[in-house]
């Protein structure tokens, strides 16, 4: 369903000021969306009305006037809108429904219901939602990934990240701020809902911080606006749209629970529905023939009709190239074999496939230097900022970019497990490569021994895990991984080893050998016992 803002000269925040007709249309949606927010949370007897109401003006402006069309919500050149405080899902669903992305009645009746796409925190399966951000602090990192995606694919588009003020306390946001400035992500705009409240009360009491000063200190353009004035917010977004040198942060001063006087400025309505009488009054004010009682009855009686959408997949035509073969005397480590294969992939695909490699100050150790030399503009040094980098790489991987994140196991798996979990939930296409796993990094001590990687990654149902046995299998597994859709993990130690050989001394994982995921290879035949091994211990098992 089209809405009247699709043909507006204010589209993309291009015009200097918000037109009167546009403002009237947006204001006409406010009471309806407030009622929708209340309908969802009161019908479900749970949810987050307070922040949904304080962010409502932001959401109406963003989805109303950014370059996003409900008729073509996955158009590659679209703008991307990321909501970091995903618990404000009622506000997101209300705006998307009223602008025609899906029938609003489905969200009103089936919010937080088993089997419904309208979960309590936003999910990609809802039309118009770009990324399921999960726990707070993830959205700005995802926004960095989407911004890089627009650049690397040539699709362009601006990226908007809506956030709460409480989540600014998280360190990952600091990491994302610095990265965005380092790489000049001027297409990126952050909008912070400054309602001054979080679960524990006033944000200044829970954890004092100077949000605007923090962004400015890191090099962002900072603009302040009344978060409940469409014209003022639009002017700030226009200023961001014409900024060509650095990212912009808009500080939107808002009121929790805005528009429903009975709950305004009360922290408990962060996650508590309004009283039934207040809900019914809100429905009447919006001209809706609804009551809380009727909603709850219909919630049980009426079946779900909108089941959501499958996120668009990523299909890349990657040339695996010719595998390298390491001979019996070529004692080397798996990480060098991975690095060589990665450099080969860069040489064979760099002109035809968008690629990116992320490093966290370990380029020489994780052997991404060969790629860096071949494709310097597609190598991103993120510093010692693993949480941000993992989340950013996951989002970028969903943009049609062959994305590798290389790190030590204890940082790339243990420390960043949640970020990979979210990439898994969102259906990413990340190639996670970790060296220094297991006891092979024993000299560094137990704090740096990633021995739980199998258990952790097997809990992520969309990840395929590969632990190659030697440099030859590492080379072939790397090339296989690059050609596969979906998330993959390639893990290895750091020590040098002789290639696994056949009984006649020739390399086993060479010649006609092709890596096949999930297939065991018979290295030696016998009748006395069976030894099953993977990774670095395979050589020892053969020798035994």
For residue 252, list its beta bridge partners: 193, 225
Q: How far is CA 539 from the centre of its chain?
A: 38
Using DSSP's 3-state secondary structure scheme, residue 186 falls into coil
Q: What is the pLDDT along the chain (544 residues), one digit of tens a residue?
A: 679 999 999 999 999 999 999 999 999 999 999 999 999 999 999 999 999 999 999 999 999 999 999 999 999 999 999 999 999 999 999 999 999 999 999 999 999 999 999 999 999 999 999 999 999 999 999 999 999 999 999 999 999 999 999 999 999 999 999 999 999 999 999 999 999 999 999 999 999 999 999 999 999 999 999 999 999 999 999 999 999 999 999 999 999 999 999 999 999 999 999 999 999 999 999 999 999 999 999 999 999 999 999 988 888 999 999 999 999 999 999 999 999 999 999 999 999 999 999 999 999 999 999 999 999 999 999 999 999 999 999 999 999 999 999 999 999 999 999 999 999 999 999 999 999 998 787 788 888 888 899 999 999 999 999 999 999 999 999 999 999 999 999 999 999 999 999 999 999 999 999 999 999 999 999 999 999 999 989 998 998 7
Helices 20-44 and 230-241: crossing angle, nearest 10°? 110
What residue numbers bound the domain in which 219 lies? 16-301
What is the sign, positive or negative, of the torsion defined by CA atoms of 402, 407, 413, 419? negative
CATH of the domain at 414: 3.40.50.970
Sorted by sequence, the CB contacts under 8 Å of residue 246 that are 6+ apart come out as 181, 184, 185, 186, 219, 220, 221
317 in a domain, yes or no? Answer: no
The structural domain count of the chain equals 2
The string of DSSP letters for 342-374 reads HHHHHHHHTTTS-EEEEESS-HHHHT-HHHHHH
Residues 296, 387, single domain; the answer is no
Do the strands 332-333 and 496-497 form a parallel or antiparallel pair, or are they unpaired?
Answer: antiparallel
Sorted by sequence, the CB contacts under 8 Å of residue 433 that are 6+ apart come out as 338, 366, 404, 405, 406, 407, 412, 478, 489, 490, 491
| Residues 342 and 359 sit within 8 Å (Cβ to Cβ) | no
Residues 294, 414, single domain; the answer is no
310 in a domain, yes or no? Answer: no
CA atoms of 531 and 265, how far apart (whole Å): 65
Q: How many residues does the chain have?
A: 544
Predicted structure pTM score: 0.97
308 in a domain, yes or no? Answer: no
5 in a domain, yes or no? Answer: no
Q: How far is CA 442 from the centre of its chain?
A: 33
158 in a domain, yes or no? Answer: yes
Report the largest interatomic distance among the alpha carbons of the chain, rounded to a whole angstrom: 85
219 in a domain, yes or no? Answer: yes
């Amino acid at each position: 369903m089209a809405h009247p803002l699709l043909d507006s000269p204010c589209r993309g925040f291009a015009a200097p000021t918000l037109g009167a007709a546009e403002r009237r249309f947006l204001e006409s949606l406010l009471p309806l969306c407030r009622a929708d927010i209340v309908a969802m949370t009161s019908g479900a007897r749970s949810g987050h009305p307070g922040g949904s109401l304080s962010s409502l003006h932001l959401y109406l402006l963003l989805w109303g006037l950014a370059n996003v069309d409900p008729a073509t919500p996955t158009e590659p050149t679209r703008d991307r809108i990321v909501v970091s405080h995903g618990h404000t899902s009622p506000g997101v669903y209300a705006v998307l429904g009223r602008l025609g992305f899906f029938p609003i009645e489905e969200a009103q009746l089936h919010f937080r219901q088993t089997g419904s796409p309208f979960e309590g925190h936003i999910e990609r399966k809802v039309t118009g939602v770009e990324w399921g951000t999960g726990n707070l602090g993830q959205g700005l990192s995802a926004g960095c990934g989407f911004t890089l995606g627009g650049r690397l694919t040539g699709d362009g588009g601006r990226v908007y990240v809506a956030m709460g003020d409480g989540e600014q306390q998280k360190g990952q946001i600091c990491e994302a701020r610095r990265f965005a400035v380092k790489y000049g992500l001027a297409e990126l705009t952050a909008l912070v809902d400054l309602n001054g409240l979080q679960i524990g009360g006033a944000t200044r009491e829970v954890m004092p911080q100077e949000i605007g000063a923090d962004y400015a200190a890191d090099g962002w353009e900072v603009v302040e606006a009344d978060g409940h004035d469409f014209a003022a917010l639009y002017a700030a977004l226009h200023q961001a749209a014409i900024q060509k040198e650095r990212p912009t942060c808009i500080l939107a001063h808002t009121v929790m629970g805005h528009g429903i006087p009975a709950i305004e400025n009360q922290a408990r309505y962060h996650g508590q529905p309004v009283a039934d009488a207040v809900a019914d009054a809100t429905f009447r004010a919006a001209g809706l023939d609804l009551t809380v009682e009727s909603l709850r009855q219909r919630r049980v009686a009426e079946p779900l009709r909108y089941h959501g959408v499958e996120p668009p997949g990523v299909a890349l035509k990657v040339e695996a190239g010719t595998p390298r073969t390491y001979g019996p005397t070529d004692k080397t480590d798996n990480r060098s074999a991975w690095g060589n294969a990665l450099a080969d992939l860069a040489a064979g695909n760099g002109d035809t496939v968008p690629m990116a490699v992320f490093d966290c100050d370990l380029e020489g150790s994780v052997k991404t230097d060969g790629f860096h030399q071949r494709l310097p503009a597609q190598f991103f040094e993120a510093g010692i900022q693993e949480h941000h980098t993992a989340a950013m790489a996951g989002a970028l991987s969903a943009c049609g970019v062959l994305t590798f994140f290389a790190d030590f196991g204890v940082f790339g798996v243990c420390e960043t497990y949640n970020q990979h979990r979210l990439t898994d939930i969102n259906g990413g296409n990340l190639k996670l490569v970790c060296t220094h796993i297991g006891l092979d990094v024993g000299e560094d001590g137990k704090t740096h021994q990633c021995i739980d990687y199998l258990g952790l990654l097997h809990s992520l149902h969309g990840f395929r895990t590969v632990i190659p046995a030697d440099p030859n299998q590492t080379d072939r597994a790397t090339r296989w991984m690059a050609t596969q859709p979906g998330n993959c993990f390639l893990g290895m130690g750091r020590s040098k080893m002789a290639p696994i050989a056949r009984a006649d001394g020739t390399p086993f994982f060479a010649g006609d050998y092709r890596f096949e995921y999930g297939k065991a290879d018979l290295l030696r035949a016998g009748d006395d016992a069976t030894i099953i091994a993977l990774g670095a211990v395979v050589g020892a098992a053969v020798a035994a």
